[in-house]
Amino acid sequence: MSIKLRYYLKSQSKLTDKEIDKIIDCFKITSVKANTILLSEGQTCKEFYFIHSGCVRTFYITKQGNEKTRYVAFENSMVSSLASFISKQPSFEFMDTLEDSVLYSIKYSDFFQLVSEIPEWEKFYRTLLETAYLYQNKKIENLVTVSAKIRYDKLMNENPMYVQRLSNRILASYLDIRQETLSRLKSK
């Protein structure tokens, strides 16, 4: 089962096979049903996930009770509530599964033990952080500078899987638009 995780680590780093074996030994595999809450607001995120199959999102709930999806991760990617994971502080966001999912999880203590022991894992971690920063910065730029139609069109061109696999409710939350607006954009 760890073939996908092994391939992911190999393709994203210069880790040796021996180092990858050590890293994979720290991961635990879990199968979870769709709509499973992995982290609630106020809890401290203690795990980092590799998605073998399925889909995980991170989202906020506003004071008005509206969901705002920050990030959606599909198979062969990693996801966590980074701010909470790094700081060991309570999270402001939720994490849930949008589909039945098979996840590999690594605990905070194991993750950072590997950072201190394996220089290439530390580089891998730094690359994850840089990628997350760039992704979030681009998302904020799009929310602030372009229309809902342009955001939707970009998503269709760059990540059509989002439109194919996410419900209209989640997709609208991700694009920061109302479902009615999304329906109009989809019908054009």
Chain segment 91-143, per-residue pLDDT in tens: 999 999 999 999 999 999 999 999 999 999 999 999 999 999 999 999 999 99
Q: How far apart are the first and last CA of the chain?
A: 42
Domain boundaries, the chain: 3-117
> What CATH number was assigned to the domain covering residues 3-117?
2.60.120.10
H-type alpha helices, the chain? 3-12, 17-24, 82-87, 108-117, 119-145, 148-158, 160-165, 168-175, 179-187
Return the closest-CA partner of residue 106 out of 46, 162, 54: 46
Is the per-residue pLDDT at 1 higher than 70? no
Q: Are 163 and 156 in contact (CB under 8 A)?
A: yes
Write the DSSP symbol of residue 45. P
